Amino acid sequence: MLKPGEAIPLTIDSPAAGGRMLARVNGQVVLVAGAIPGERVIARVDHVSRGVVFADTLDVNAPSPDRRQPFGDPLCGGGVYSHIAYSRQLQIKGQIIADAFRRIGRLELPAPVRVAPSPEDGYRMRARLHVRGARLGFFRESTHDVCDARVTRQLLLPTCDALDRLGAAIRSAGLEAIREIDLSENVDASDRVVHLDAAATIDAAAIERLAAIDGLTGVASAFGVCGNAYVTDRLTLGDGAPVALRRHVLAFFQGNRHLLGHLVTHVIDQARAEGEVVDLYAGVGVFAVSLAASRGVRVTAVEGDRYAAADLAANAEAAGGSIVAVHQSVEHFLESADLRAGTIIVDPPRTGLSREALNGALRLDAPRVIYVSCDVATLARDVRRMVDAGYTIDRADAFDLFPNTPHVETVVVFTRR
């Protein structure tokens, strides 16, 4: 049995979900950080859990041609794949999707998954940052140590500059109660709002001073708002249909500015031309409003989160009445739903569809289902149940919303057999 601290030679076999790569020693599975399939490395055992060994790369004896110098600290909030050439990252993510379907769902996909690429720099529109002492940034992987968000290259440089000014102002004002900061900006970064999560009251004057920082359009907290707590995105879809969406700084929204339009266009292109659309976990209405604007279809959009649901209602009203916005949990809505949907769109959280939600969606018996997922494991689990219930996988596509990380957004389209 391998023990923590032991250094071992390994040949890396294949990628594994979560960012590590898979190797074996005498039949024992070893998950290795900082490696690439095909490499021969020396790795040090970090820990052993449930018979699986976790190790970190120390030296690379036979490097892959796809190895590159990682930027900054690879463990700082989103750089686990930064040592891998970007084109290889896309291949690895496609392999991970196919492996999850094969291993968890016991399914073969109809074709290899193409992963749409994203520029690696400045892609991120939403982020949660942490304030610890004089530092403001991301958590280092598996720790509560704060590292500099700038070196991860996820945020725009003007965004990093605004955050530096914000951190300095927080320290200058002695606002030690502020521990977390939620950042949200729109695609062109003309709106940039932060929400302050504080353990004690922040007075209105302090919020007003922070809101005056260059580069911010609003500062919100539980104790008040100065400026605007919302950002507004304006998208032009493939057919030229303009879409405007307001969203609160705390509302969920797809985070990649470079691929947002491509993802939305792909999803609405897969919807059936006839019949009503039911959009479950609709968020602020990015798919619902886009469908109504570009295709003129009627959409019932369901969202349980209070911030996103309020935005959904406002965006639906602005869209002109072809969207019915429902503020309700998906499970509760589906208990009594009596609809004849031509298409169902589901975009659940990382945990996937609950059993109640999946059973309710299946009861609608829609000819087409579009499943948007940020977690391949829960997606493969749910797809297995949908296939068993009589659906066929038409296609699976992926979008690299999170470059240099093991995360990937997958869209699977089903038709009823």
pLDDT band at residue 391 using 50, 70 and 90 as cut-offs: very high
Helix ranges restricted to H, 49-128: 86-103
Between 3.90.1300.10, 1.10.3720.10, 3.40.50.150, 1.10.10.10, what CATH number should domain 232-416 receive?
Answer: 3.40.50.150
Residue 196 · residue 178 · CB < 8 Å: yes
Residue 287 · residue 309 · CB < 8 Å: no
Global pTM value: 0.95
Beta strand pairing call for 52-62 and 40-49: antiparallel
Structure confidence at residue 212 (pLDDT):
96
3-state SS, one letter per residue, for 18-37? CCCEEEEECCEEEEEECCCC
DSSP states along 152-177: GT-S-HHHHHHHHHHHHHHHHHT-TT
pLDDT band at residue 379 using 50, 70 and 90 as cut-offs: very high
Q: What is the pLDDT of residues 204-251, one digit of tens each?
A: 999 999 999 999 999 999 999 999 999 999 998 876 778 999 999 999
Q: Write down the architecture of domain 1-67 according to CATH.
A: Beta Barrel (2.40)
Q: 60 CB contacts (<8 Å, ≥6 apart)?
A: 35, 39, 40, 41, 67
Residues of each domain in the chain carrying CATH 2.40.50.140:
1-67
Residues of each domain in the chain carrying CATH 3.40.50.150:
232-416
Segment 43-54 mean pLDDT: 93
Structure confidence at residue 73 (pLDDT):
87
Structure confidence at residue 116 (pLDDT):
98
Segment 282-293 mean pLDDT: 95
What CA–CA distances, in Å, run from 232 to 125, 162, 224? Answer: 12, 19, 20
Report d(CA 221, CA 250) in Å as an integer. Answer: 10
Q: What is the pLDDT of residues 176-199, one digit of tens each?
A: 999 999 999 999 999 999 999 999
Segment 378-382 mean pLDDT: 98
Structure confidence at residue 417 (pLDDT):
87
Q: 395 CB contacts (<8 Å, ≥6 apart)?
A: 110, 111, 412, 413
Segment 107-120 mean pLDDT: 96
Give the DSSP letter of residue 352.
Answer: -
DSSP states along 360-402: HHHHT--SEEEEEES-HHHHHHHHHHHHHTTEEEEEEEEE-SS
Q: How far is CA 286 from the centre of its chain?
A: 15
Residue 357 · residue 334 · CB < 8 Å: yes
pLDDT band at residue 155 using 50, 70 and 90 as cut-offs: very high
3-state secondary structure (DSSP) of residue 68: coil
Q: How far is CA 394 from the centre of its chain?
A: 23
Segment 28-57 mean pLDDT: 95
Segment 81-107 mean pLDDT: 97
Q: How far is CA 17 from the centre of its chain?
A: 15
